[in-house]
Structure 1
Amino acid sequence: MPIPLRGPGSHEEPAELYRAMRRKHGPVAPILLDGDIPAWLVIGYRELHQVTGDPNLFSRDSELWNQWDNIPEDWPLRPVLNRGQPSILYTVGERHSRRAALLGAALDGIDPSVLRADCERFADELIDTFCTKGGADLVNEYAMQLPVRVLAHTYGFTEEAGRGLVTALTDMINAGDRALEGEAYLYRTAKELLADRRKSPADDVATRMLDYSPEFTEEETVQDLMILMSAGHQPTADWIGTSLHLMLTDARFAATMFGGRSSVAEAMNEVLWEQTPTQNMPGRYATRDTHLGGRRIGAGDLLILGIQGANSDPQIRTDASALTGGNSAHFSFSHGEHRCPFPAQEVSEVIARTGIEVVLDRLPDIDLAVPADSLKRRESPWLRGLTELPVTFAPTPALGGPDA
């Protein structure tokens, strides 16, 4: 029997869910998406490598899906599984390669030192809002605010638009009842930004996207900007929150919390292996009948990329210590021609690492305010993150003064 992907197991105990799937079905498990739509979840490391590395057999072209006749217009997963969408996610072949290179160039124009300075400035501003109180929720008051503020500034969005993007991106990526509303807000603000930059260019990502991609339509550029924002914000926010949680609750990292930054990189890398923000990712479509992991895959079948399931595949986890530390052979940024562009990975890492380091610098005696086992995760099979992270600390003055 197929296993529903959405449910308590997908967000409360996903590791156990993937183990149960592996015991019952092997590395490729039959699942049901919202509305009992059938698909396959690829949780084998080698199988996922095969799927992401063979675009001729496992295409990103959503037009191939054999379930479109069963998908209603208001299906909550349409923002992440759609047809006819002219974004880079659904483009294949040479056109995809060209667009990916141009997007990479637009992101590569970000000055790392300026990006880090922006991160520190926004992080300090956020911490100033609660540092005098002696307590805060580091997910909702900090981690969920920082990436979108940095990205909105870097890409060229106004402060007003950036504030609305926090809620819109969360609604859209969680693929719940408000997903389509969130997508509509992101689309509208991205379109407005690009229209403004055509008239008034600036030193930002939006302007470089227009400069670097004159051969692409306006709609394609809007969609690509939406992808950059949505893929950059929520996973980075969850990376910050989960890494801070690990450092507050794991004895291996707790001792260094008071010493500052020495273990931040190790904690962040472990999160990518053990609790990666992007748990599952749509999707690939079989271009013909084939076999994968002992399963017969039909032409047009949808395969969901089981990122965390593959990262925890026991066949490659013979030595857990070898897969943490500096090892980055995880699938957290995907793999193959549709992987996260390297410049985007760098931007995400700078924002996450800087955000964590500023917290440790500003609040050196920080401690968890509730029992660790009382914390809850977001109810989503796609992105894994804490719904809150309440902490206590000694009140400290705001850097911006008493009125900050």
Structure 2
Amino acid sequence: MTGCPVRMYGPEFQSDPGGLYERMRSEHGPVVPVRMEGDIPAWLVVGYRELHQVMNDTTVFARSSSRWNAWHLVPADWPMLPMVIQLPSVLYTEGAEHRRRTGALTDALSGTDLHELRTTTARMADRLIDAFCATEGTDLRTSYTARLPALVLSWMYGLDDVRGDHLADNMNTMIDGGPDAMVAQQTLMAAMSELVADRRVRPGPDVVSRLLAHPAGYSDEEAVPELIVLLGGGNQPTAEWLGNALRLMFTDDRFGASIAGARNSVQEALNEVLWEDTPTQIHAGRFAAHDVELGGQLIRQGDLVLLGISGANRDPLVRSTAGRIGDRGSQAHLSFSHGPHQCPYPAREIAEIIAVTGVEVLVDRLPDIELAVPAGELRWRPSPWVRGVASLPVTFTPTDPYGGL
């Protein structure tokens, strides 16, 4: 079973991803032939069990993009190139080398004091809210949700707010996959090279210094792309997770109590978002180590297999199984990936602390906050890879800044 490939761009990925994945499944089954921008071929896995298999079986579905059989089709200015370009990082290594890098990153993140992280996140959230709370409204995406994770991660890296915002802007540009994607990646590489050189001379109590001092023995050339991967994996998805949860709370009556202070509903909203509007819709990817059958499709050696996380989370076969895996309260979603390349547990803890604290501080400070436009007017970012609102305009009663934070 193959069928006509689905083009991975267009308004449906933003306006109706659930309907789109349902139609994909109906026509192709759990593994869908697709064409990325530039007519580059790939396979998109939207079946939960099939994606679980791909994530777990690294001997068949390998991580190194050096295996890709379509490199000859990729132009030098391909906007998706940053998503697949072979860099010496934890994303693309395999076997013992991947375990070395994963262990070092996990240890570097584990050194973060979670109480201090929560306190710092609240302080930075207050600082951001101070900048707009005396007005009657703001776009939460630009003034809050897209900035808070970047500021916290910058603190974890030992950076100031200005440098953190600059890094976040370039990360967003790279992830969006537009014409400036490669320039943004090069800017990130230069900034991280400067930071690594500085931490070699002046180490501090930060993630960068802990990674450089780790027994894994990172060279500067290894550390730079690794830290960019870590920044991108922490900043972008957490910002969209926070924004998507707030959108849900503003538009769904079930979460109205959260705005009034029922904090247990904040966690429920955040978990539901991971099922319904997960920040990372599609991730690139895996590469077939040899010919293999998957979900009724013949995957050839070297084919690119895209991880359809959003589609798999919406798989109706999984949601109807015994035990209700797909219940919104369940943690069995694949939004943090699975298997050897899954998001390290300390990174999940850090992202959740940022998201929960970001919501709680906002609704505590502005208890009557609400959308400034009808819910139907909200628009999603133009990317099949990332799920997040393009803007989140809100209104509230003006209040005095806390100041001095």
Note closer, same or farther for the CA distance 1:170–1:349 as it changes in structure 2 (3 Å cut). same
How far apart are 1:5 and its partner, in Å? 0.9
**Deviations 1:367-402 (CA, angstroms, capped at 9, x unpaired):** 11100000000000001000111111111100007x
* Contact 1:139–1:241, Cα closer than 8 Å, also in 2: yes
Q: Give the whole-Å Cα distance in 2 for the aligned partners of 1:273 and 1:98.
A: 31
Give the SS at the match of 2:317.
coil
How does the TM-score come out when normalised to structure 2?
A: 0.97
Question: Tell me, which stretches of 5 or more residues in structure 1 are unaligned?
Answer: none
Match of 2:304 among 299, 302, 311: 302
**Deviations 1:47-75 (CA, angstroms, capped at 9, x unpaired):** 00111110000000111100011111111
Structure 2 partner of 1:181: 183
Matches within 5 A, 1:8-23: 8-23=11-26
Matches within 5 A, 1:37-56: 37-56=40-59
Structure 2 partner of 1:30: 33
Q: Give the whole-Å Cα distance in 2 for the aligned partners of 1:13 and 1:145.
A: 27
Q: Give the whole-Å Cα distance in 1 for the aligned partners of 2:377 and 2:252.
A: 15
Percent identity for Structure 1 against Structure 2: 49
Structure 1 partner of 2:375: 372
How far apart are 1:255 and its partner, in Å? 3.1
Structure 2 partner of 1:314: 316
| Number of residue pairs matched by the alignment | 401
**Deviations 1:243-268 (CA, angstroms, capped at 9, x unpaired):** 00101110111133213423000000
Does residue 287 of structure 1 match 2:289? Answer: yes
**Deviations 1:53-105 (CA, angstroms, capped at 9, x unpaired):** 1000000011110001111111111111113x111111000110111011000
Q: Give the whole-Å Cα distance in 1 for the aligned partners of 2:381 and 2:184.
A: 17
**Deviations 1:145-187 (CA, angstroms, capped at 9, x unpaired):** 1000110111122333212112101101111112112211211
Give the SS at the match of 1:30.
strand
Give the SS at the match of 1:136.
strand
Structure 1 partner of 2:354: 351
Structure 2 partner of 1:134: 136
Does residue 71 of structure 1 match 2:74? Answer: yes
Matches within 5 A, 1:203-242: 203-213=205-215, 215-242=217-244
**Deviations 1:317-347 (CA, angstroms, capped at 9, x unpaired):** 1179763454111010111101111111111
Note closer, same or farther for the CA distance 1:324–1:362 as it changes in structure 2 (3 Å cut). farther
Q: Which amino acid aligns with 2:232?
A: S
Structure 2 partner of 1:192: 194
Superposed CA RMSD in Å reads 1.4
Q: Which amino acid aligns with 1:290?
A: V
Question: Which stretch shows the higher mean deviation, 373-382 or 69-78?
Answer: 69-78
Structure 1 partner of 2:390: 387
Give the SS at the match of 1:232.
helix
Give the SS at the match of 1:86.
coil
Match of 2:401 among 367, 374, 398: 398
Q: Give the whole-Å Cα distance in 2 for the aligned partners of 1:350 and 1:5.
A: 33
Question: Tell me, which stretches of 5 or more residues in structure 2 are unaligned?
Answer: none
Structure 1 partner of 2:251: 249
Does residue 170 of structure 1 match 2:162? Answer: no
Q: Which amino acid aligns with 1:243?
A: A
How far apart are 1:349 and its partner, in Å? 0.6
Q: Give the whole-Å Cα distance in 2 for the aligned partners of 1:71 and 1:348.
A: 34
Match of 2:85 among 82, 106, 111: 82
How does the TM-score come out when normalised to structure 1?
A: 0.97
Q: Give the whole-Å Cα distance in 2 for the aligned partners of 1:321 and 1:146.
A: 34
Q: Which amino acid aligns with 1:61?
A: S
* Contact 2:151–2:164, Cα closer than 8 Å, also in 1: yes
Q: Give the whole-Å Cα distance in 1 for the aligned partners of 2:279 and 2:30.
A: 21
Note closer, same or farther for the CA distance 1:361–1:324 as it changes in structure 2 (3 Å cut). farther
Give the SS at the match of 1:89.
coil
Give the SS at the match of 2:256.
helix
Q: Which amino acid aligns with 1:357?
A: E
Give the SS at the match of 1:141.
helix
* Contact 2:258–2:266, Cα closer than 8 Å, also in 1: no
* Contact 1:289–1:298, Cα closer than 8 Å, also in 2: yes
Q: Which amino acid aligns with 1:71?
A: V
Q: Give the whole-Å Cα distance in 2 for the aligned partners of 1:124 and 1:333.
A: 28
* Contact 2:101–2:216, Cα closer than 8 Å, also in 1: no
Note closer, same or farther for the CA distance 1:150–1:7 as it changes in structure 2 (3 Å cut). same
**Deviations 1:5-55 (CA, angstroms, capped at 9, x unpaired):** 121111221111111100000000000011000000000000001111100
Q: Which amino acid aligns with 2:48?
A: Y
* Contact 2:319–2:327, Cα closer than 8 Å, also in 1: no
Q: Which amino acid aligns with 1:241?
A: G
